[in-house]
Amino acid sequence: MTDTEYTARTLSSIAGVAPGEWDALANPKGQPYNPFVSHAFLNALEESGSATPQSGWAPSHILLELDGKLVGAAPAYLKSHSQGEYVFDHGWADAFERAGGHYFPKVQCTVPFTPATGPRLLVGQNENSKLYRTALASALVQMLQPNELSSLHITFLPEEDWSALGEIGFLQRTDQQFHWLNREYKTFDDFLGELSSAKRKNLKKERRRALAEGVEVKWFTGAEIIEAHWDAFWVFYQETGSRKWGRPYLTREFFSLMGERMADDILLIFATRDDQPVAGALNFIGGDTLFGRYWGCTEYHKFLHFELSYYQAIDFAIDRGLARVEAGAQGGHKLVRGYVPVTTYSAHWITDPGFRKAVADYLEREREFVAEDLETLRRHTPFKKG
């Protein structure tokens, strides 16, 4: 690194750093808690066999030290493919390979299989945080050329970090998601009251239809979650995963480890009929955000997906006083259900100069398109005009 006071080293397993040291950087006091960058979550991905070299996610976490003290860390992986990332670079990989280059392996600084915004350059909260963040980014870049790696991708990072990385030469990319924002609602009806009459009636109808035919909804969190719940949810997860991705990313053991180590951060929403689970949605509870992650079912009931994944999540966020619900990637259908478009951010470093210029030109046009699309979507939210 340019500043000889810093030293950086790579870990092939997050188990190589003490949980307390990692978490002090990932979730410092005074900042909203993010469950996905916690040591427990990342370690469960590795220990369960979900994020491993065999699955194409070889852990290569970066630790930054100053005078022997850990001052920065980044969850990073050597990737042999572009799956499970939700920021799609398949076209880049194809173009680089056709030009005679080797796009893989690449470095992915993110949380595997998790399209949720959160800190990626973990530096705690202190007067030197900006300096440590820059040094950490430099350490990640310096992994590339000695190891003949094509590129570095830092995805779903906060806008502030995205802007700072742009100032030091990272290529900047934007995309969109749909989030529900809590405007200090006391009840779901308060939220409905801000919608146009037609949209309000539609949401009420969907909720009634979803819970017809004897369907009941139950919430489980903390000590209420037992292995039988994970057995049921595993079936739901496999059903959805096999349709969307060909094979599920996560192993069955991952869910048990989450139940053991992070139960208070988890909300399971089950739909039952005749006391038997027929559908479920898995959410993670952050400091100010409910993160919707997975959904699945064994019985089809119209609008049940919307009820469990969107409306029940809103109910929980209102009940807990959470500021927002992030319901995952994609889904323009969320717009009419009160989830508004927001910008997501990623930063990229390409080593080959010619390829870097081509990607930079593409991203400039893409950012303009994303901004225009977001503005159009914002004019079509279901809220009352004015």
Tens of pLDDT, residues 117-147:
999 999 999 999 999 999 999 999 999 999 9
Range of the domain at 347: 6-177+342-378
Helix, strand, or coil (residue 111)? coil
Q: What is the pLDDT of residue 46?
A: 98
pLDDT band, residue 247 (cuts 50/70/90): confident
Report whether 236 contacts 255 (CB < 8 A).
no
Q: What is the pLDDT of residue 240?
A: 83
| DSSP secondary structure string for all residues of 40-77 | HHHHHHHHTTSSSGGGTEEE-EEEEEETTEEEEEE-EE
Task: Please tell me the distance from the alpha carbon of residue 292 to that of residue 281, in angstroms, as a whole number.
Answer: 8
pLDDT tens digit string along 260-281? 999 999 999 999 999 999 999 9
- Joined tokens for residue 282: 């898995």
Residue 329 in domain: no
Residue 368 in domain: yes
Q: What is the mean pLDDT of residues 58-69?
A: 96
Q: What is the pLDDT of residue 2?
A: 45
The chain-wide mean pLDDT, for the chain, equals 96
Q: What is the pLDDT of residue 314?
A: 98
Query: Among residues of the chain, what percentage have pLDDT more than 90?
Result: 94
If asked whether residues 275 and 359 sit together in one domain, one would say no
3-class SS string, 135-194: HHHHHHHCCCHHHCCCEEEEECCCHHHHHHHHHCCCEEEEEEEEEEECCCCCCHHHHHCC
If asked whether residues 368 and 301 sit together in one domain, one would say no
If asked whether residues 26 and 105 sit together in one domain, one would say yes
Task: Please tell me the distance from the alpha carbon of residue 159 to that of residue 326, in angstroms, as a whole number.
Answer: 16
pLDDT band, residue 155 (cuts 50/70/90): very high
If asked whether residues 79 and 169 sit together in one domain, one would say yes
Q: What DSSP designation does 122 have?
A: B
Residue 386 in domain: no
If asked whether residues 350 and 208 sit together in one domain, one would say no
Residue 122 in domain: yes
User: What does pTM read for this prediction?
Assistant: 0.96
CA angle (185, 289, 20) in 5-degree steps? 145
Residue 331 in domain: no
Residue 215 in domain: yes
If asked whether residues 71 and 132 sit together in one domain, one would say yes
* Strand bridging mode 61-66 / 6-11: antiparallel
If asked whether residues 248 and 274 sit together in one domain, one would say yes
If asked whether residues 11 and 118 sit together in one domain, one would say yes
If asked whether residues 133 and 256 sit together in one domain, one would say no
Going by C-alpha positions, the residue among 330, 283, 327 that lies closest to residue 36 is 283
Helix, strand, or coil (residue 290)? strand
Q: What is the pLDDT of residue 375?
A: 96
The number of folded domains in the chain is: 2
List C-alpha distances in Å: 12 to 3, 53, 145, 385: 24, 10, 19, 53
Q: What is the pLDDT of residue 248?
A: 85
Instruction: Write the single-letter amino acid at 372.
Output: E
If asked whether residues 126 and 250 sit together in one domain, one would say no
If asked whether residues 156 and 232 sit together in one domain, one would say no
Q: What DSSP designation does 251 have?
A: -
Residue 355 in domain: yes
pLDDT tens digit string along 302-322? 999 999 999 999 999 999 999
Q: What is the mean pLDDT of residues 53-72?
A: 97
Q: What is the CATH number of the domain that holds 152?
A: 3.40.630.30
If asked whether residues 349 and 262 sit together in one domain, one would say no
The structure tokens 């050597």 sit at 78
Residue 289 in domain: yes
